[in-house]
Structure 1
């Protein structure tokens, strides 16, 4: 797996910030003093957190100068010493955690550890930014930071610039590495949603299953077959009971249209003799039981 961009950016920026903070802490260049009355014009005095150096014509440099004004006992200097050392130690711890979390001979980085290292580096950047900002704020105040009286001028040294840059790089690198917590949090949330419940959940609706016997059919329904009521099988002959009928009953044909239950020849016997003569003259005999057209 490729290393994510946020991890790569954090691992690159954090060591640079640590190196700049280390240089700013050790170098005697927090404040620059010029214009001494009893010194040559090109004499410059550099003041730092741990040492003072006198430089003339950029060729002669003498460090370890005595503190004649009580500069090292000033509160901003003492606070800057403690916070800068704390910043360096915290940044070193953050880089160690970042090294173990980003890769450390693993196929996939440890997102949680890399995110924690980002938080530690961010705190280290804050520890370095606070004393640098405070020192820069009171740099020209001779009551807070003792210095010779005018016409000596006070200027910002290069160590303050390096301290600003190093602290900002630590903050950016820490924020970049802290973004590694996002995949870890997303994975934890996904696992939490997919986790099964602790115990079996009881349904709000209780379902009871019972083995109910089938109701017995009444004899009228049980022995009804082919549209007729049959006696029970025990009462039928053995042959009929052994060979049940299979199939569906055919419907009965409707009655003929010409069927007439009334006797239409009733009362016609007397008239048959009288009309025998007329019937003999008919061209076609009538053999049907119904009256013929000639008779009508």
Structure 2
């Protein structure tokens, strides 16, 4: 049996979402802070969930920077850490269930297990989408996410975009795998709707034979036989069923005729020793040997 399309789509999108979420969670690029007054203009500070890096002119990059404004102690950052790690663990569990359910080594997939894995993966996508959306909403709020005061500006980092895309892929892949429950649900519903044996409806008739009446023939054909017109049944009192058709005339019976009288001269002859009885017998039969 070929793998259904919903299973194939889910097995393609889920690993991609897991890779994007893992990359976005570990990299320090959730927020970019730049425009410091006491530092060069090209200095950019990348803030993530686990690390903070300082980059200048895309050449010099230094990580494990000192957290001056207690950024990692913010409640939103701590909650985002917990939700993203939980999402990664849930994604790994759902992918394991999907691998067993979709079966790369069996002929028939396990629809129930594949459907359950779809719900698990959909939940993991929600767990990663919630912190991303929440973080993006309070991105520039310095009371929720501490940062240096103005004129320092904050912008969205690349890690936030990666986690957002990974969450969407997990949602779509999980929903696609959850559709694997459709054949199982259809089978269960058909069992519940099955009627009792006494009320089972019989199959409809596939072939119907209709005895159509034969068309009435014209008198010229119906009452013509032997080259002569015959009277209708009503004329000669016939009450039975009349024959329908056009009978062919019968040929006359075959008879032997001999135009030459081969016995001429033998009727009165007595020298041949033939009696009158023999002569009469020979005349009444087909030609005698003497004719040949």
| TM-score after normalising by structure 2 | 0.66
- Aligned position for 2:234: none
| TM-aligned CA deviation for residue 187 of structure 1 | 1.4
Which consecutive segments of 4 or more residues in structure 1 shift more than 6 A?
none
Which residue number in structure 2 is paired with residue 51 of structure 1? 51
Q: Could you say which residue in structure 1 is the equivalent of 2:130?
A: 130
The aligned residue for residue 211 of structure 1 is none
Structure 2 counterpart SS, 1:53? strand
Matched residue, 1:223: none
SS at match of 2:120: helix
SS at match of 1:184: helix
- 1:20 correspondence with 2:20: yes
SS at match of 1:151: coil
For residues 13 and 4 of structure 1, the distance between their equivalents in structure 2, rounded to whole angstroms, comes to 15
Unaligned runs of 5+ in 2: 198-292
| Partner secondary structure for residue 32 of structure 1 | strand
Deviation at residue 195 of structure 1 after TM alignment: 9.2
Q: Deviations over 1:212-245 (max 9, x none)?
A: xxxxxxxxxxxxxxxxxxxxxxxxxxxxxxxxxx
Residue deviations 1:96-136 (CA, integer Å, cap 9, x gap): 00000001411010110000000000000000000000000
Query: Aligned ranges for residues 219-258 of structure 1 at < 5 Å?
Result: none
Number of residue pairs aligned between Structure 1 and Structure 2: 197
Partner Cα separation in structure 2 for residue 3 and residue 110 of structure 1: 11
Name the SS of the counterpart of 2:122 in structure 1.
helix
Q: Which residue of 2 aligns with 1:207?
A: none
Specify the alignment match of 1:7 in structure 2.
7
Larger-gyration structure (1/2) = 1
What does residue range 81-120 of structure 1 map to in structure 2 within 5 Å?
A: 81-120=81-120
SS at match of 1:124: helix
Partners of 1:179 and 1:119 in 2: CA distance: 10
Deviation at 1:55, TM superposition (A): 0.4
Structure 2 CA distance for aligned equivalents of residues 83 and 188 of structure 1:
36
Deviation at 1:196, TM superposition (A): 7.5
Displacement of 1:189 in angstroms is 2.1
The 2-side partners of 1:195 and 1:177 are apart by 32
Q: CA deviation at 1:193?
A: 4.0
Secondary structure of residue in 2 paired with 1:146: coil
Aligned to 1:271: none
**Equivalent residue, structure 2, for 1:68:** 68
The alignment status of 1:188 with 2:188, answered yes or no, reads: yes
1:146 aligns to what? 146
For 2:60 and 2:184, locate their aligned partners in 1 and report how far apart those are by CA, in whole Å: 57
1:23 & 1:30 partners in 2: Cα distance? 11
In structure 1, runs of 5+ residues without a counterpart are: 198-296
Alignment of 1:136-175 (within 5 A): 136-175=136-175
RMSD: 1.3
TM-score by length of 1: 0.65
